Copies of this chain bind each other. A is one copy, B any other.
Amino acid sequence: MAVRVGIAGVSGYAGVELLRILAAHPGVEIVALAAGGAAGLPLDEIWPGWTGRLDLPVEELQAEALGDRCDAVFLGLPHGVSAKVVPGILAQGAAVIDLGADFRLRDPAVYAAAYGLAHPCPELLPEAVYALPELNRARLPGALLLACPGCFPTATAIAALPLVEAGLADMVVSDCLSGVSGAGRKASPRNLYCEVQESAVAYGLAGTHRHTPEMEQELGVPVVFTPHLVPMVRGMIATVKVRLLRKVDAATLQAMYADRYADHLAVIVRDGPPASGDVRGTAAAHVHVALDAVRGVVTATCAIDNLCKGAAGQAVHAFNLAFGLPETQGLPLFPVLP
């Protein structure tokens, strides 16, 4: 019997990516759509591309009403908003798969510092599972509150985990390149086509980006993180540099990565550096590791689709694990090329 799911935040980019994946997922039935400002509009006005494909209203976001009809509710909502509706959804017995930031940080003080507001329901933080399958697969079955990682932490963690777990790094320098969809669908002058096209920029410099504490929490070492915005819609590259604490040869490094991810179907270890276009539209991560023996530095790069592996696809992956569905059921793993 299909799992009944709802999508809150369907007017956003992560929301419509959830829609694409879940509408084609053989193990689920979408029973409810909700949004904030766009509530009440027909779906085909919000997303003309969906005209004639799904006959569901876009409701106002009401926790109990959603939780009541769904077995699982996916949330693609701004930080601060998720935390307000999660208790009500859980109270109805439905699971929550939160793509937002509200349940990623275990320490409410860190949350408050990063997001500038007191956490609305800190008592739920211990129940949340940080839903990176490559890190917490064992903790996901049966979990009711899934805190899906951000796109930058996902790509950085997959690139850095083998090095950190092997004790080779006391600091991770991560430069990430992100497509513009990561900035959301807000009508801000900064996101206008003519401001973004043919231009690249670094931002959130010097530890000021909100994803830094999330990375440091999961990796356990200081992270010097610099995000860059590049003119593409989807896609992300994380390039992680680590000054090695001890010598290691290239073959050992390669084997470390191959072993670390052998059991993880979403991660492919490549011989050369992956392009973000290689994983377009998929819930997969491609990773590569290279040794600079002269300077004692390892460079590991990870390519993901920020909206899929970095958001909606990874959320469905974790949901599959939580609900005991086949791990890759309904998961887009075949890339949209070119």
Residues of A in contact with B (beta carbons under 8 Å apart): 13, 16-17, 19-20, 23-24, 47-53, 171, 173, 175, 177, 179-181, 185, 187-189, 191-203, 205-207, 222, 224, 226, 228, 230-237, 239, 241, 243, 268, 270, 272-282, 286, 288, 290-292, 294-295, 297-299, 301, 303, 333-338
User: For A185, A206, A281, A333, which residue has the most chain B Cβ atoms within 10 angstroms?
Assistant: A206
| Other-chain residue from B177, B192, B286 in contact with A200 (beta carbon distance below 8 A) | B177
| B contact residues around A290 at 8 Å (CB) | 205-206
Known: A194-B181, A277-B199, A337-B16. A286 touches B51 (CB 8 A): yes
User: For A268, A277, A281, A301, which residue has the most chain B Cβ atoms within 10 angstroms?
Assistant: A277
Known: A24-B334, A51-B268. A228 touches B177 (CB 8 A): yes
- Cα A96 to Cα B286 with chains together (Å): 35
- Cα A236 to Cα B180 with chains together (Å): 17
Taking the closest CB of chain B, its distance from the CB of A19, in whole angstroms, is 7
B185–A274 touching, CB < 8 Å: no
- Cα A20 to Cα B337 with chains together (Å): 8
| Other-chain residue from B188, B205, B277, B299 in contact with A205 (beta carbon distance below 8 A) | B299
A274–B48 touching, CB < 8 Å: yes
| B contact residues around A194 at 8 Å (CB) | 13, 180-181, 185, 191, 233, 338
Taking the closest CB of chain B, its distance from the CB of A138, in whole angstroms, is 23
| B contact residues around A206 at 8 Å (CB) | 290-292, 297-299
Q: How many identical chains are in the complex? A: 4
- Cα A268 to Cα B230 with chains together (Å): 22
B200–A237 touching, CB < 8 Å: yes
B337–A224 touching, CB < 8 Å: no
A20–B187 touching, CB < 8 Å: no
| Other-chain residue from B16, B192, B298 in contact with A192 (beta carbon distance below 8 A) | B192
| B contact residues around A279 at 8 Å (CB) | 49
Can you name 28 A-B residue pairings with CB atoms under 8 Å? A16-B338, A17-B337, A20-B337, A23-B334, A48-B272, A171-B243, A173-B173, A177-B200, A177-B230, A180-B194, A185-B194, A187-B189, A193-B197, A197-B232, A198-B277, A200-B232, A200-B277, A201-B273, A201-B276, A201-B303, A202-B239, A202-B299, A205-B301, A224-B292, A226-B241, A228-B237, A230-B231, A281-B336
